[in-house]
Amino acid sequence: MAQLFFKYGAMNSGKSIEVIKVAHNYEEQNKNVLLFTPAIADRDGAGWVSSRVGLKRKAIPIEPDTDLFQIVSEWLFRLSCVLVDEVQFLTKEQVLQMARIVDDLNIPVMGFGLKNDFQNHLFEGSKYMLLYADKIEEMKTICWFCEKKAIMALRVDQSNEPVREGEQIQIGGNDQYYPVCRKHHQHPLL
């Protein structure tokens, strides 16, 4: 029975490398998978799932008006799994389309992404994944400043000072974000 999975974690918890690994494992067994990633997640260019350890994989870019259900239902080959990286950037409608792929097409869908932003607010896609996913799993990593589990993202500016206000979405890596525990989100050791 197919299910909708939400695998979330702080930055640097290995989400994107897990997407690439899962795709590889399916394909090694001659099973077809589709990979998606929001076009806005363009750290290495639109349509790429890329890990900080250097692995990357081509994916179908998702625009705000992309209908995931339509793409998957028109796929010519039998699919064993659908993988979506950076699911936090999806709309409510796209999360519902993912659920429909599971329910109507009986294809498992795994969504990977952040749960909360740098102000500790839920992203739209993450909010609806938390509401609709059959299985929710946290991918863990440690705080940049201590040994506790990182559960938040600390955004910093070019001077490495904490940023507390601004647009929710700003694509960046270790030069702009640190995975942190609650304590160091409020009182970073910069």
Give the CATH number, domain containing residue 81.
3.40.50.300
| Per-residue model confidence (pLDDT) at position 90 | 97
Name 40's bridge partners. Answer: none
Q: How many domains does the chain have?
A: 1
User: What is the reported pTM?
Assistant: 0.92
- Report if residue 14 sits inside a domain: yes
Banded model confidence at residue 171, pLDDT cuts 50, 70, 90: low
- Report if residue 173 sits inside a domain: no
Asked if residues 26 and 80 have their Cβ atoms less than 8 Å apart, the reply is yes
User: What is the rounded average pLDDT for all residues in the chain?
Assistant: 92
- Report if residue 89 sits inside a domain: yes
Burial group, residue 158, by CB count within 10 angstroms (0-12, 13-18, 19+): exposed
- Report if residue 187 sits inside a domain: no
Dist. CA 132–CA 7, nearest whole Å: 13
The residues annotated with a catalytic role in the active site are: 86
| Per-residue model confidence (pLDDT) at position 99 | 98
Nearest to 57 by CA among 33, 81, 79: 33
Bridge-based pairing of strands 60-62 and 4-9 is: unpaired
Kindly state the average pLDDT of the residues 62-79: 94
| Per-residue model confidence (pLDDT) at position 172 | 63
Q: Percent of the chain having pLDDT more than 70? A: 97
- Report if residue 174 sits inside a domain: no
Residue 55 has pLDDT above 90, yes or no: no
- Report if residue 133 sits inside a domain: yes
| Per-residue model confidence (pLDDT) at position 70 | 97
- Report if residue 117 sits inside a domain: yes
- Report if residue 146 sits inside a domain: no
Q: Which domain holds residue 10?
A: 4-140
Kindly state the average pLDDT of the residues 162-183: 81
Torsion of the alpha carbons at 71, 75, 86 and 91, rounded to the nearest 10: 20
